[in-house]
Amino acid sequence: MVPNEGQLRDVRPALVFMSGELIAVPIPLEREEVILGRAFEADVRVNDSKVSRNHAKIVTRESDGKAEYILSDMGSRNGTYVNGERVTEHFLEHGDKITIGEQILRFDMLDEIDREYQRQIHRLISHDDLTGLLSSRSFFSELRRESAKARAENRRFCVLMMDVDHFKNVNDKYGHLTGSRTLEEIGACIVSVMRSGDAASRFGGEEFSAFLLDADLPQAMVAAERIRTVVEKKAFTVIRHGAPGETHSVTISIGIATFPDDSVDPIELVEMADSALYRAKREGRNRVCAYRKLSPEEMAKELPRRTD
């Protein structure tokens, strides 16, 4: 059933991704003309090689006091489809499904409750239930996006791979409830060191990952050492009947790779940081290792203070 706009409060048009990296994300159509495409300057950027730089546009116009939303193909290489049919121009209606490249977006008229619902669905899909950090899939999505942006803007960033040392001992000694609480608290430790714009994920099991924006290797070493120290000093909660207030301790090992010095490929950066992580493990754990060593110039440079 198509909603009656008079029955809903603050109804606004939006595109909702139904597949791909941004699944369930509602994109409000707040401008008279909205460009969909692969270009950085596109209003709705779709990271898909089969999508043209400027693929299609949605124009809003008034007709007899009512808003109309017109989708037009912009001469794209692979075409624009609505409900399975290729179109050059189409008057959009609530529920229409738009396909560009391999991405499907639904045109919806959403009220504020609908929009919040879609955001919550996306959060459930893209974040780890236990820690609230990004899932590994969402982390790779954000990392690919940041790599492309950093390449275009000639910016630096660093990738951290982190693994809790001897985590099996925690589960064996205190039980899985304590193990789960420990992972949750480690996630909070990592977030406490990061700045706005940085991103962290639970990569899998007791392994975490992060990227630090506008950071070179000396800055990343400082941030990683802060994470290591916070975890080492933290009194982690023990969940055990009859032992209120009991705590335990763990340590964490961290590996670092830098963009663009180590690689400009996001997957390779993660592999390099992972290689550095396992070197930290081999060298005794509870330490930070970089994929490459600091140059004499970097070692002599005063390490900049990362600020919030």
Tokens standing for residue 78: 């692979």
- Cα–Cα–Cα angle for 151, 153, 157, rounded to 5 degrees: 60
User: 267: how many CB neighbours lie within 10 A of its CB?
Assistant: 12
Residue with tokens 């969909």: 36
| Amino acid letter for position 39 | A
- Rounded to whole angstroms, the Cα distance separating 56 from 75 reads 8
Query: Contact 283/257 with Cβ under 8 angstroms?
Result: no
Nearest one of 46, 56, 52, 44 to 89, comparing CA atoms: 56
Nearest one of 221, 208, 234 to 306, comparing CA atoms: 221
Query: Contact 82/96 with Cβ under 8 angstroms?
Result: yes
What is the separation, in whole angstroms, between the first and last Cα of the chain?
47
* Residues that are catalytic: 206
Q: What is the three-class DSSP state of 18?
A: coil
b/e sequence 277-294, b meaning 16+ C-beta within 10 Å:
beebeeeeebbbbbbeee
- Rounded to whole angstroms, the Cα distance separating 121 from 108 reads 16
Query: Contact 239/175 with Cβ under 8 angstroms?
Result: yes
For residue 211, list its beta bridge partners.
159, 199
- Rounded to whole angstroms, the Cα distance separating 268 from 261 reads 12
